[in-house]
């Protein structure tokens, strides 16, 4: 079983739940989900999001240690959660992608045996759903 960690922004252009289901899952695949606004980017800014980052890390550790997912997949997007912190409000798309790569590296150090995959939603509005593989 695979673990997906992604932002729960429900707006149509951001709806990762639907995009993941349509593009990344095989039919009838059962997955584990960690979805909340700003996930997984809170891990890239643990000082700004101390509570959220700590909570998400504890959830990831629990799922990996107890359920042994064959992959943990971090799905980033042009996340509006950055705008909730004034010092991060001007974060560029390039920097958001870099954050996903940094999360990947950090979690690889924490769980060196685990297969992590990092993806970034690069869908064009009204167009084809696409994910860019974005790893360290
Ligand atoms: Zn988001």
Residue 126, pLDDT score = 64
Q: What is the pLDDT of residues 35-91, one digit of tens each?
A: 999 999 999 998 888 888 999 999 999 999 999 999 999 999 999 999 999 999 999
For residue 125, name the pLDDT band (cuts at 50, 70, 90): low
Tell me which residue range forms the domain holding 124. 2-133
Cα-to-centroid distance, 81 and ligand 1 (Å): 6
The enclosing domain of 91 has a CATH number of: 3.40.1050
**pTM, full prediction:** 0.91
How many angstroms separate the alpha carbon of residue 38 from the centre of ligand 1? Answer: 5
- Dump the DSSP string for 21-85: HHHTPPTT---EEEE-TTTTGGGG-TTTTHHHHHHHHHHHHHHHHHH--SEEEEEE-S-GGGGGS
What's the CA gap between 136 and 119, in Å, rounded?
A: 11
Number of domains in the chain: 1
Find the 17 Cα to ligand 1 centroid distance in Å.
11
């Amino acid at each position: 079983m695979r673990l997906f960690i992604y932002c729960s922004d429900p707006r149509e252009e951001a709806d990762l739940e639907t995009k993941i289901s349509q593009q990344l899952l095989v039919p009838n695949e059962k997955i584990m989900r960690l979805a909340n606004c700003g996930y997984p980017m809170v891990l890239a800014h643990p000082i700004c999001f101390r509570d959220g980052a700590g909570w998400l890390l504890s959830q990831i550790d629990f799922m990996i240690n107890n359920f042994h997912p064959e992959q943990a997949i971090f799905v980033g997007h042009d996340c509006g959660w950055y705008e909730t912190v004034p010092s991060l409000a001007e974060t560029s798309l390039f920097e958001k992608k870099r954050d996903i790569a940094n999360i990947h590296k950090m979690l690889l150090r924490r769980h060196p045996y685990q297969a992590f995959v990092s993806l970034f939603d690069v869908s064009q509005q009204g167009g084809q759903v696409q994910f860019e593989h974005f790893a360290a």
